[in-house]
């Protein structure tokens, strides 16, 4: 995947993408939305895949669950990857299912040695099944465990190093966690393994009012804030230009809004290239 800015392709925009073929370098699609065997969405994606690179982004593997990997889920992901041959495949460093029950959110893990070992093993299993590298994404969180052997950034780095996977650095999630938990976002960025960063995500958050302490929600329903744009520029300076995605999953606006956000991200990437040259 070239180091350019793409957007998440969501259902409201599929028909316009098919009819107008906008100038977008690449699209991300949620893996689970394509798990059905047939239907109009697959027909559309076959056409879109012919003209655009794709990234598959999953939310349901539950890599950190105490349960074993859902082999049915993994098999469907493998089939999807074989069908569309995406440039990137990613999942989240979290858990979301146990005992046959599924959460509607991505749930955090304790930053412990046990969790690192579990994740490294599970990621290895997934990479073996896929026959390719998996990217893992740092998540936003709203609570922390008292128990822990690592800082969040060291936890992420340890998982990446031990599993040999790639890293999808979600800059908005880093900023959200810096506010929610009082951690230093600049230290977080600088501690991540630079050579493992394959992709960056940008999104908007919402602020929960009426609480005694600040709380940001990673809602993917707003434009990227100026604070996150500044942190993104720092991330690109730290990691160099890497593929960058604009995420917008709730209150989805017109396609032009996403294209404008992607264009701003592209300006940051281009400025970094000029600086390097």
Ordered per-residue pLDDT tens for the chain, 277 residues: 999 999 999 999 999 999 999 999 999 999 999 998 888 999 999 999 999 999 999 999 999 999 999 999 999 999 999 999 999 999 999 999 888 778 888 999 999 999 999 999 999 999 999 999 999 999 999 999 999 999 999 999 999 999 999 999 999 999 999 999 999 999 999 999 999 999 999 999 999 887 878 899 999 999 999 999 999 999 999 999 999 999 999 999 999 999 999 999 999 999 987 766 5
Distances (CA, A) of 218 to 49, 89, 143, 150, 175: 29, 21, 13, 23, 10
| Residues in Cβ contact with 269 at an 8 Å cutoff, skipping those fewer than 6 apart | 3, 4, 5, 236, 241, 244
**pTM summary value:** 0.96
pLDDT at residue 234, as a whole number: 98
| Residues in Cβ contact with 152 at an 8 Å cutoff, skipping those fewer than 6 apart | 111, 138, 177, 181, 183, 188
Q: Which fold has domain 5-276?
A: TIM Barrel (3.20.20)
pLDDT at residue 211, as a whole number: 81
50-74 per-residue burial string, b: 16 or more CB within 10 A, e: under 16: eebbbbbbbbbbbbbbeeebbeebb
pLDDT at residue 105, as a whole number: 87
């Amino acid at each position: 995947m070239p180091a350019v800015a793409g957007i998440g392709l969501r259902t409201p925009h599929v028909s316009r993408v098919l009819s107008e073929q906008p100038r977008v370098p690449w699209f991300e699609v949620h893996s689970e939305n394509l798990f059905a065997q047939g239907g109009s969405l697959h027909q559309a994606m076959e056409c879109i895949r012919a003209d655009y690179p794709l990234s598959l982004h999953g939310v349901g593997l539950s890599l950190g669950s105490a349960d074993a990997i859902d082999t049915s889920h993994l098999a469907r992901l493998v089939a999807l990857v074989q069908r569309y041959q995406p440039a990137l495949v990613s999942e989240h460093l979290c858990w979301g299912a146990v005992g046959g029950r599924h959460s509607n959110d991505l749930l955090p893990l304790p930053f412990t040695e046990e969790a690192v070992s579990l994740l490294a093993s599970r990621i290895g299993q997934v990479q073996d099944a896929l026959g390719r590298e998996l990217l893992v994404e740092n998540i936003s969180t709203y609570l922390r465990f008292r128990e822990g052997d690592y800082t969040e950034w060291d936890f992420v780095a340890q998982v990446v190093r031990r599993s040999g996977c790639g890293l999808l650095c979600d800059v908005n999630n880093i900023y959200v966690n810096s506010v929610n938990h009082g951690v230093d976002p600049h230290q977080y960025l600088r501690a991540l393994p630079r050579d493992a960063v394959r992709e960056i995500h940008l999104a908007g958050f919402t602020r929960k009012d009426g609480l005694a302490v600040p709380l940001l929600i990673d809602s993917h329903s707003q434009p990227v804030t100026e604070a996150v744009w500044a942190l993104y520029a720092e991330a690109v300076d730290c990691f160099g230009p890497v593929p960058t995605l604009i995420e917008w999953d709730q209150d989805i606006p017109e396609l032009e809004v996403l294209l404008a956000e992607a264009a701003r991200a592209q300006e940051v990437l281009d400025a970094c290239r000029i600086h390097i040259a």
